[in-house]
Amino acid sequence: MAANPRPALTADVLAAIRGMTITPEMTGDLPVGDLGEIRDVTMPGPGGDIALRLFDPRSDRTAGPVVIFYHGGGYAVGSIGSHAGLAAEIARQLDLPVVSVEYRLAPENPWPAAPDDGEAAARWIAQNGAAFGRDFTGLVLCGDSAGGNLAIVTALALRDAPAALPVLLQLAIYPAVDHSREYPSRRAFAEGYGLDSKDTTLFDQHYAADKRHPRNSPLLVDQTGMPPTLVVTASLDPLRDEGRAYAAATTLAGVPTVFHEAVGTIHGFACYRRAIPSAQADLAACLGLARAMLNAR
């Protein structure tokens, strides 16, 4: 990344990125690989149509859970395409269908557009398995980074006003959970570890969210009644400490919680499996924990 610096993610640069087709290989990840079916579906959303993409290792599947996946990217970059490799790998490792959500991005669509879309998608998918040719029986809310935030925010919304199907598990991979304060890890890894403070500052400016609102900083509210929770952090990640704090908060609230920290790696490792040789094993380890938690229901 240092050898190939990119420009600052200003509004103009983001507008140019919107016109590009981003693939996993362009971001340092592995390609989608073999799957039984990939299907594009469109749903009505609160701000217009929302694109959804199904990734399933099986073309013919009996009734069962569905993973709803929210991609990372600071609420300003990322897409179904950029995170297709990760979504496909989650589908393979869990042997479950994954539906990836193309939620609206800032700065064109500032907060709360992203959580509005995230919640709407979960509720719609819960009622419309037939649109994917499947019979869904429960939801697994999953996301990385900003997407991890959206998974948790959506789980909070569905705790308070349940969807048509129950939430069986929330899987938050190096999530952003508290924008209200600066944690020590944000200072320790502010530069040179893949998620520099200059980028997070721009992301925050573009997103323009209320830093203390639970739909932006879900750590700040009571976690009682949340679904079983798996929190994954990276030991060299600016977001590490707030992920640790979130796992502690769910545990103290009596939520069945598993915490896993990938040691010696950085924020974004789940999408750097081509660039970082250890990343595939790190991802497999956390998905193995998710699989065990689902099997223990």
The mean pLDDT of 36-62, rounded to a whole number, is 98
Dump pLDDT digits (tens) for 86-138.
999 999 999 999 999 999 999 999 999 999 999 999 999 999 999 999 999 99
pLDDT at 5 over 90: no
Nearest to 171 by CA among 107, 115, 98: 98
Q: What is the DSSP letter of 120?
A: H
Indicate left, alpha or beta for 218 from its phi (over 0: left) and psi (-120 to 50: alpha).
alpha
The residues carrying an active-site annotation are: 145, 237, 267
Residue 21 has pLDDT above 90, yes or no: no
Query: Measured between alpha carbons, how far is residue 19 from residues 2, 16, 27, 75, 254 in Å?
Result: 24, 6, 16, 17, 45
Domains and CATH numbers, the chain: 21-295 (3.40.50.1820)
pTM for the structure as a whole: 0.97
- Tell me the pLDDT tens digit for each residue of 248-271: 999 999 999 999 999 999 999 999
CA distance 271 to 280: 9
> What are the φ and ψ backbone dihedral angles of 61, each rounded to 5 degrees?
-135, 140
The percentage of residues in the chain with a pLDDT greater than 70, rounded to a whole number, is 100
